[in-house]
Structure formats: structure tokens, C-alpha cells
Amino acid sequence: MTGVRGVDVRGSGVRGSGGHATGGRRAGARAVRPTSARPAGVRSAPIRRLALGLLAAALLAGCTTAPTEAAPGTTGTPNAPNTPAASGSTATATPAPSRRAPTPAPEGTLLVADFGSDTVTFIDPGRGGSGRNGGPIASVEVGTAPYGLVVGEDGRAWVATAEGVAVVDTQRRTRIALIPYETETGPVTTGEYRGGGMGIALAPDGRHVYVGVNVPGGNGTLEVIDTATREVTATAGVGRRPFDVDVSPDGREVYATNHDSFDVTAVDTDTLRTRRMEVAPYGTEGGLGSWLKPHYAVVRPQDGTLLLPFEGERLAVLDPRSGKVTIERMTADTHQHGAALAPDGTLLVVGTGPIGSADEGPSLTVRAPDGEERIVPLEGPHEDVAVSADGRTAYVTGGFTRDGYWNGITVVDLDSLDDPNNEKNKPIRLSAGNRPLGIAIL
């Protein structure tokens, strides 16, 4: 987001696909894929009228949904965990918000941003985090078309919506604030190209949140939010459609991955000075119509380099100090979006599916620090990924920013990859959320 997305505990914004018309793709051989009552008795009329009045009041109260800005103690509705969704299921499983008191969330509860709605959904990851017997717990209204999210150590989630950054108390399951953007983004809309927040990240010390704000038709901004005052304190210009936002290990720089301008903007957190670094391993031909643009990045803790996957063929390794990009080979051979790092340095990358007839289908790439890759097939397009604190389980959202999404997540047991043919090791699909994109682990 991990917000928890990988080892850096973030939800980095979802992160989307975008601007995708067909674009040029390199020619040449494809990489080889390695082998996812009613009461009895007579009542007098006054008593009966009183009873009916009380009943009506109770029914009306039961139909009340939670307000956008919930009062203290109000929450989303807890629900019993669902059984795993049937293969290919696209049924929405977002519980309706209400005023019922929350029950304690299981350890490792997942939180997803429902891009197809105005909520975030809490999901029980199932027995031992495996996905078995898991399902949605509650949903909380946050704002229009939530995209990326991140969760701090204090249990507050920061959610980038089209209207502003929502702050959610994950213990009480209540939205406690909605912070409007300083940037003018036009009318509040939905869909892949909507204005407003996209990628989002939290400073290592928890004192600031950084959100990439999309301005339709122009360059975006990075807005800085003080987590104590819940106010925007600064802005800096970045590139077009900042899908993802990451922070350097020392907190001195923030990186906005700008999808439609083929670059990463580095922002100095003290001075707000910016540097543009082009990341275009296939070139920039096709411009806004190209598919071959950066989507998501992760920051490698040991050296601060950024890893940006492209098309299951090339991993761009960006040194933010020099701006130099080196390329390493990848093998999934599919269009790629979300990425996360496991605690041991394993890189997880979501393959959304083909953009050309020769491409492979949706997958999860599991890339060891030495570059060896294992490819887990997935059923249908997915968008983003988070990995458990022990590095044993990956959770992949099915939202996808384009057509073909489904309402759920896929759970992948990373310890079982050596025996992929065992039915017990197959990825498990959970029906949850409404076009879930960003994901964090609580």
C-alpha cells in the first residue's frame, strides 16, 4: 500500500491504467514463461396505537444510513463473513452503511477503496489470512470514486477520493474528516479519467500525507497534508495523472509516478523543489494514446531506487539521485499495474491482461531479489496488490481501472508456489467491495 502495501506499509494509490489507446510495442521474441408475532391478548386502542407508534419509529431508525460525516460512535454495518465467491462472480458485496456498533476486526483485516462506489470496505481475510471463509465485514462512506489509500500506525486511513482526502478511523469504522483539495480539478465526476486524488502515501514519521491530484487535461499537483491539523499545507507541480506516490526511506523526497507524461517527479519535502525524471523504456511515441507508460512504483529500502514494471517485459530501475534508468528483463509478458515489496525484498507485480494478440493473460509476478520470477495466473483483470507482514500471502484487487473488472480480491498463497498443480494451493477469490482498487492491510 501495504496503508499497507508491501514492506513500506502504504496504500500508494491505486493506481490505474488510463489513457489507453493502442500504442506501439516492441517487436521480437517473447520471454518464456516459467512453470494464480405478534403479541397475544387483547389491547385497548390507546395501548395499541402506542405500540404501533413505537414499532414505526423503530423501523424508521433501522432504515437510517450513516451520514457522510458520521457522528462519534456511528459506524458501518458489520456483516458475517461470506464464503468465497464463485469463479467469475461479479456480484457487488458492499455492505450498506448504518449506525450499528462495530465488532472487533480480525487481525490482518483488509481495507479496499471502492472505485465504483463512494465507500471503503473492510474485509475479513479468512482463516489464517488464507481467504477461506473470508468476506466483507463493513463499508464506510468516504467520498466519490475513492482511488488510493494508506493507513498509519495510529489506525487512521487516508483515502484519495474525487472530492478530497477522507480520513477514516478504522477502529470505529467512521469517516472523521474530508479534506478538500487546494487544486482546482473541475466538477466531481467518476471514471478512469476523473479529477482528484490518485496515488497517496504517508511520511515515515506519520506527520504528513502526500497525495497526487489529477487535473483533467493538464499537469497534476502533489498536495501535502498535515496529519495533526488535517489541512493542506503546501502544493507542488508534478506530471500528468499521478497514479502512484511513494516516499524515500529517509522521508526527504516524495515521488509521483505520472502516467500520461512518461515520468516520475521527485519533490523535496523541505523546499518543494521538483525534478522531472523520464521513465520510458519503450520511448514516448503515441503520447497520451500509448499503453506503454509508467503506472506504479515501489521504493527499494536498501538503496532508495524505484522499481517500475512495464508490460511483463522490462523492469525500469530508477536511481532518483542521478535520474538514470537501467532495464532488467521480466517474463510475464502482459500489461502490468500494481506493485508491492514483501519484507524479504520479493517484488510482486499485477498483470492486468493482454493489450495485444501475442500477450499473455492476467497474472501475479513473484520476482525474487535475484531476478528469478514465478508467474501465478489470475482469473480476469486485477489492479493492485498488498502483501502480508510475514510475506506469505498476497491480496490482489479485482477492480481494474478499465472494463473487465470484478468486485472482489484474489488471495495467493506465496508459500505454495512450488506445487501450483495442487488444488489446495489455487488462488482463492473473495467477493468484496465495488470495483476495489487501492488496498491496505490493517
Measure CA 414 to chain center: 20
SS3 per-residue string spanning 62-117: HCCCCCCCCCCCCCCCCCCCCCCCCCCCCCCECCCCCCCCCCCCCCCCEEEEECCC
Whole-angstrom CA distances from 295 to 1, 26, 337, 401 are: 14, 18, 6, 11
Average pLDDT rounded to a whole number, residues 362-378: 97
Average pLDDT rounded to a whole number, residues 157-184: 97
- Nearest of 364, 351, 295, 319 to residue 12 by alpha carbon: 295
Amino acid (1-letter code) at residue 283: G
Q: What is the pLDDT of residues 297-310, one digit of tens each?
A: 999 999 999 999 99
Average pLDDT rounded to a whole number, residues 236-245: 98
Distance from C-alpha of 168 to C-alpha of 142, rounded to nearest angstrom: 8
pLDDT band at 96 (very low <50, low <70, confident <90, very high): low
Q: What is the pLDDT of residue 95?
A: 52
Distance from C-alpha of 173 to C-alpha of 157, rounded to nearest angstrom: 10
The DSSP bridge partners found for residue 277 are 264
Return the minimum-mean-pLDDT range out of 33-42, 177-186, 368-377, 386-395.
33-42
Is residue 272 within 8 A of residue 254, CB to CB? The reply is no
- Nearest of 339, 389, 384 to residue 366 by alpha carbon: 339
Written as nine digits, the cell of 11 is: 496504500
Task: Name residues whose C-beta falls within 8 Å of residue 44's C-beta, 6 or more positions apart in sequence.
Answer: none
Q: What is the pLDDT of residues 315-343, one digit of tens each?
A: 999 999 999 999 999 999 999 999 999 99
Q: What is the pLDDT of residue 150?
A: 98
pLDDT band at 61 (very low <50, low <70, confident <90, very high): very low
Q: What is the pLDDT of residue 425?
A: 74
Measure CA 392 to chain center: 19
E strand spans, 248-407: 253-258, 263-268, 274-278, 298-299, 306-310, 314-318, 325-329, 335-341, 347-353, 363-367, 373-377, 385-387, 393-397
Q: What is the pLDDT of residue 291?
A: 87
Amino acid (1-letter code) at residue 259: H
Q: Which helix (H) or strand (E) holds 411?
A: strand 408-413
- Cell 500477450, residue located: 359
User: Hey, how many other C-beta atoms are within 10 angstroms of the C-beta on 423?
Assistant: 5
Q: What is the pLDDT of residue 268?
A: 98
Percentage of residues of the chain with pLDDT beyond 90: 69
Distance from C-alpha of 404 to C-alpha of 104, rounded to nearest angstrom: 34
The DSSP bridge partners found for residue 393 are 413
- Cell 470514486, residue located: 145
Q: What is the pLDDT of residue 436?
A: 97
Is residue 165 within 8 A of residue 152, CB to CB? The reply is no
**433 secondary structure, DSSP code:** B
Distance from C-alpha of 329 to C-alpha of 34, rounded to nearest angstrom: 13
Average pLDDT rounded to a whole number, residues 251-274: 98
Is residue 134 within 8 A of residue 430, CB to CB? The reply is yes
Which of the two residues, 48 and 190, has the higher pLDDT score? 190
